[in-house]
Amino acid sequence: MQLKIYNSLTAEKEIFKPILEGNVGMYVCGPTVYSNVHLGNVRTFLSFDFIYRSLMHLGYKVRYVRNITDAGHLTDDGDVNNDRFVKQTRLEKLEPMEIVQKYTVDFHKVLDMFNFLPPNIEPTATGHIVEQIELTQKLVEKGFAYESNGSVYFDVLEYNRRGLQYGELSKRNIDELFANTRDLDGQGEKKNAPDFALWKKASPAHIMRWNSPWGEGFPGWHLECTAMSTKYLGEKFDIHGGGMDLKFPHHECEIAQGKACNDVAPVNYWMHANMLTMNSQRMSKSTGNYILPMQLVSGENDFFEKAFHPSIVRFCFLQAHYRSVLDISNDAMMASEKGFIRLMEALKVINNYKPEENVIQNKDSAFNLTEWKNKAYDALTDDFNSPVLIAHLFEAVKFIFALNDHKENISNEDLEDLKNILNALVFDVLGLKPVEENNNEKLDQTLQVLIELRNQARKSKNFDLSDQIRDKLLAEGIELKDGRDGTTYVLN
Ligand code: AMP
Ligand code: ZN
């Protein structure tokens, strides 16, 4: 079976050939931890969690690196993230690293809630300042970067002069870049507007700062990913992922830094996940068009009519291909909930199915397991096509219910095969988790049984037993109260 991956660099679906057979190095840009992640961020990370799970299921040994951007970086439209970061620290009166810790913990909680697998390495930008200074020095030495007023910039024109094609990922040409880029963060320090900062001089107000050969400052955002991916995956690795919006300038700059430093294109397959929209507009903190994951799961929001379990959110996201835009809506969530419940019911049926109870024995089945399996894996290996995979899972669901109604037939061997494949695809690859039974409901049912038994004991004047039931429950913190309308209980 051949895995095909859509490569944003070539704009084509390509047969995946890892650098080292059987092994995959994958780097995904992580969150900026100056505030809570919104549901849009979760979608991108979920797309790569599914891709990571799929690669492992297909037999690859994967080293998955996802960084934490933990302060001090600037973007090309000015020192935006740093500004926000400073505002946030003032607002909350916290130490910078306290903010970082708070939102890193929150990020991990969110990922846990949605059943994400942790990456193999989760490096932080502030933990790799030395590597970033070294990279900047190397770029200056090689003539790809220049110092200006305590900051260091990457020389895009020089890079192109050497025939290295800045703009190859985002398909922009240099003239267009010159026409459309304004020198917002350079304050006249840059030679040319498209140049980007590798190291930035810290103004007196700047909170996070480090010593460098160019004075006190902090690294440019694009550099951290080059530093960390090179350190943990090598100068050239297999897959680099992130949201579509990171293609330019972030990933374009990463390619330039990698090629300029190491004379080799850093990444073989660039993968970009598409955006989550709400009200048909991209989810984003800056426009206010966003929802936090907890608000969706708890039901505390004005947009959805009820709360949705994290597994249903996960299922809803996976019903769209990672390269398609997904518009989240109440209807979409309701439909996903219905589908999810049906899928879980079918899994329960097949996992408890006893073939000897099946009355039809020698009838040919309309369900061809081998064909079905091939179709499911064709979808998975066709650029991780989760919606088509899910559609095939529902063919199996239909068959399982027919089997349960004695309208279908399966051999013992096929039954085992079907069970194994379905469980692996649903739980390991899609990463879904069954919604736990409502424990409160079960407790209530159990207590009603005990109250009924106690009533019977009292009726037959077995006060010993009825008192025992009451006292033992009380010892467990459950108090029975006898009233005119019968017995109720209070949980203490
Ligand atoms: P940030 O913390 O802003 O760097 O974003 C973390 C990740 O979320 C990046 O890969 C972004 O591309 C991605 N992202 C941001 N907004 C959305 C959105 N509305 N839908 C999907 N992914 C998003
Ligand atoms: Zn990055």
For residue 125, give the CATH number of its domain: 3.40.50.620
Which of 28, 39, 44, when mutated, tests ligand 1's pocket best, judged by the most ligand atoms within 8 Å of its CB? Answer: 44
In a domain, 46, yes or no: yes
Ligand 1 pocket residues where CB is under 6 Å: 29, 31-32, 40-41, 43-44, 242-243, 245-246, 275-276, 282-284
If you ran DSSP here, which 8-state letter would residue 249 be given? I
Q: Are residues 317 and 390 in the same domain?
A: yes
**Peptide bond preceding 249: is omega within 30 degrees of 0, i.e. cis?**
yes
Give the per-residue pLDDT at 477.
87
Give the per-residue pLDDT at 91.
72
Give the per-residue pLDDT at 204.
83
Q: Are residues 305 and 452 in the same domain?
A: no
Give the per-residue pLDDT at 186.
60
Give the per-residue pLDDT at 72.
61
The tokens for 177 are: 């870049």
Kindly report, residue by residue over 260-318, the tens digit of the pLDDT: 999 999 999 999 999 999 999 999 999 999 999 999 999 999 999 999 999 999 999 99
CA dihedral sign, ordered 47, 52, 55, 56: negative
Give the per-residue pLDDT at 73.
46
Give the per-residue pLDDT at 85.
67
**Nearest residue (CA) to ligand 1, atom 8:** 41
Give the per-residue pLDDT at 78.
41
Give the per-residue pLDDT at 182.
66
In a domain, 189, yes or no: yes
Chunked in runs of 10, what are the mean pLDDT values of the chain (492 residues)? 96 98 98 94 98 98 97 46 67 79 96 98 97 98 98 97 95 82 71 94 86 96 96 98 97 98 98 97 95 95 94 98 98 97 97 74 79 98 98 98 92 94 98 78 85 94 94 90 85 77
Q: Are residues 53 and 20 in the same domain?
A: yes
Give the per-residue pLDDT at 180.
73
Q: What is the total count of domains within the chain?
A: 3
Q: Are residues 211 and 346 in the same domain?
A: no
Q: Are residues 422 and 443 in the same domain?
A: no
Q: Where are the beta strands (DSSP E) in 252-378?
A: 267-273, 276-278, 281-282, 326-328
Give the per-residue pLDDT at 4.
98
Of the listed ligands, the closest to the CA of 222 is: 2
Kindly report, residue by residue over 80-104, the tens digit of the pLDDT: 456 666 676 677 667 788 889 999 9
- The H-assigned helical ranges of 197-292 are 221-233, 252-262
Q: Are residues 258 and 165 in the same domain?
A: yes
Average pLDDT, the chain: 92
CA of 65 to the centre of ligand 2 (A): 11
> Per-residue DSSP letters for 10-58?
TTEEEE---SSTTEEEEEE---BTTS---HHHHHHHHHHHHHHHHHHHT
Kindly report, residue by residue over 305-319, the tens digit of the pLDDT: 999 999 999 999 999
Beta carbons within 8 Å of 20's beta carbon, 6+ residues apart: none
Residue 225 annotated as binding? yes
Q: Are residues 475 and 395 in the same domain?
A: no
Q: Are residues 69 and 124 in the same domain?
A: yes
Residue 253 annotated as binding? no
Of the listed ligands, the closest to the CA of 229 is: 2
Domain holding 459, by residue range, is 439-491
The tokens for 443 are: 């407790």
Give the per-residue pLDDT at 390.
98
Of 225, 248, 273, which residue sits at a domain end? 273
Give the per-residue pLDDT at 183.
61
